[in-house]
Amino acid sequence: MKKAQVIIDREYLIGEVDKRLYGSFIEHLGRAVYEGIYQPDSPFADESGFRKDVLELVKELQVPIIRYPGGNFVSGYNWEDGVGPKENRPVRTELAWSVIETNQFGLNEFADWCKLAGSEIMMAVNLGTRGIEEAKNLLEYCNFKGGTKYSDLRRSHGYEKPHNIKVWCLGNEMDGDWQIGHKTAKEYARLANETGKVMKMLDPNIELVACGSSGSHMPTFGSWEATLLDECYDTVDYISMHQYYGNRDRDSANFLACSVDLDQFIRNVVAVCDYIKGKKHSKKNIHISLDEWNVWYHSMETDERPERWVQHPHQIEDIYNLEDALLVGSMLITMLRHADRVKIGCLAQLVNVIAPIMTSDTGVWKQTIYYPYLHCSLYGQGSVLNTIVKSPIYEAKEHGEAPYLDCVAVTNAEREELVIFAVNKDLQEDMEVTIDLRQYSDYGIKEHIVLHDQDLKAVNTQEDPNRVVPKKNGCSSVSDGILTAVMKSKSWNVIRLSPN
């Protein structure tokens, strides 16, 4: 059995966890909206057409913030199409995903749904086919009290009170040549800065997210971030990161090492942010919004041959297995280890489209990735401890040296709780992990949750929704101030401790 040691000190903190780290994303894509959160003809729908079974699972996750309406979709979207009487809303060709958009669900429906879900809105503006004026008008519609053209338009639509949306994305993936209205770094930087300045003139209390490069693999990565921030450092508050991973080569060890790549990606973006900070002699930090992240590859072959110009087709519906859940857990651990700079995270997406929640006309079920997301959302609040992991390592084909054990500790003074999140990536052996808890001498184990299956490819389906589910059967104990835990091979672990 391999052995690992975790070292923590209650005084050595990385930073506070921003609750928005556990956000998500709903785009007008596939069945995320229609047949996902909204399905008026469903027996599970309420009087507004919202699926009650989906809402219950979203509320269980306690999702703090949800990005909307895209994604690639936003770069060709006219927000005005989705407000006002439904019978007057136009049906449009939607170019990003080659589908028909009915606009029967729009901004106000999403605001209503978010209130029921207990989530805030993270709104994206179209900087692909539109610009400053349209972004200003949308902000006025959402946040201005009344007495102006667009605030009174909102009131005429039945929304007397403003939506008060506080986080705004300045476009989406603008360095990607697939993006409607794709721009060079200089073009986007100027537009983002001028749009952001106008939006903050109207509402100085909002926070703005500028588009970073669409991924670390992009040829624009690094230089894009530097050019962008050189222009709009003083205007924006966050820079976005997007990252998806897949296992198309069927190399599970390499796949599970992708968290090493994410860690380096975050470090590189922080380095560029701080370079511009130094260059400008600024005292302000730019933080990171990792507002698209997940595993995505299962559906790619099917989605290469989609039927075009239909309404809400089955698109990008990955069915997740155990190893996907393990990597999602490792990605969450990595984000927590950078909690001083990564303040917003959006698991992409929430329902049906590369999602933890799946629906059919007869029900709803939780995918494997639902569980690490749930555990971190519920228990990963408070302060992240500087967690030193002394673990055996292995050589991953693409990512070099990778630890078998990913681990982070989070302490919550209000709850009087210490939580250990850990993934044992060893595909064969269990691992004995020890942690010195003498600074938490009066703490004992409340529970040790384990997500595990002998089959890495095991999935949950509507017919068998409980194949891969967490169990409170972890093997751990505290003796003489030392926590000893035996973590199963290929397992996600959550150990919660509190005063005896």
Question: Which candidate in 35, 292, 317, 323 is catalytic?
Answer: 292
Burial class (CB in 10 A: 0-12, 13-18, 19+), 227: middle
Task: Give the separation between CA 53 and CA 364, rounded to whole angstroms.
Answer: 7
Three-point CA angle 152, 82, 49, nearest 5°: 110
47 included as an active-site residue: no
Question: What is the DSSP-derived secondary structure letter of residue 151?
Answer: H
DSSP character string of 448-487: EEEEE-S-TT-B--SSSTTSS--BS--EEEEETTEEEEEE
Residues 6+ apart with CB under 8 A from 291: 23, 25, 67, 122, 169, 209, 240, 241, 242, 344, 345, 346, 348
Helix, strand, or coil here: 353? Answer: coil
CB 157 within 8 A of CB 83: yes
- Which two tokens mark 471? 């169990």
Amino acid, single-letter form, for residue 47? E
Helix, strand, or coil here: 193? Answer: helix
416 included as an active-site residue: no
Three-point CA angle 113, 158, 57, nearest 5°: 5
- Which two tokens mark 498? 């509190």
Task: Give the separation between CA 405 and CA 401, rounded to whole angstroms.
Answer: 12
Task: Give the separation between CA 49 and CA 41, rounded to whole angstroms.
Answer: 7
Task: Give the separation between CA 326 and CA 255, rounded to whole angstroms.
Answer: 10
Tell me the sheet residues that pair with 477: 484
CB 209 within 8 A of CB 237: yes
Three-point CA angle 447, 59, 459, nearest 5°: 65
What stretch of H or E contains 5?
strand 2-7
CB 496 within 8 A of CB 444: no
Question: Which candidate in 80, 134, 173, 417 is catalytic?
Answer: 173
Helices (H), 68-184: 107-117, 132-143, 149-156
Active site residues: 173, 292
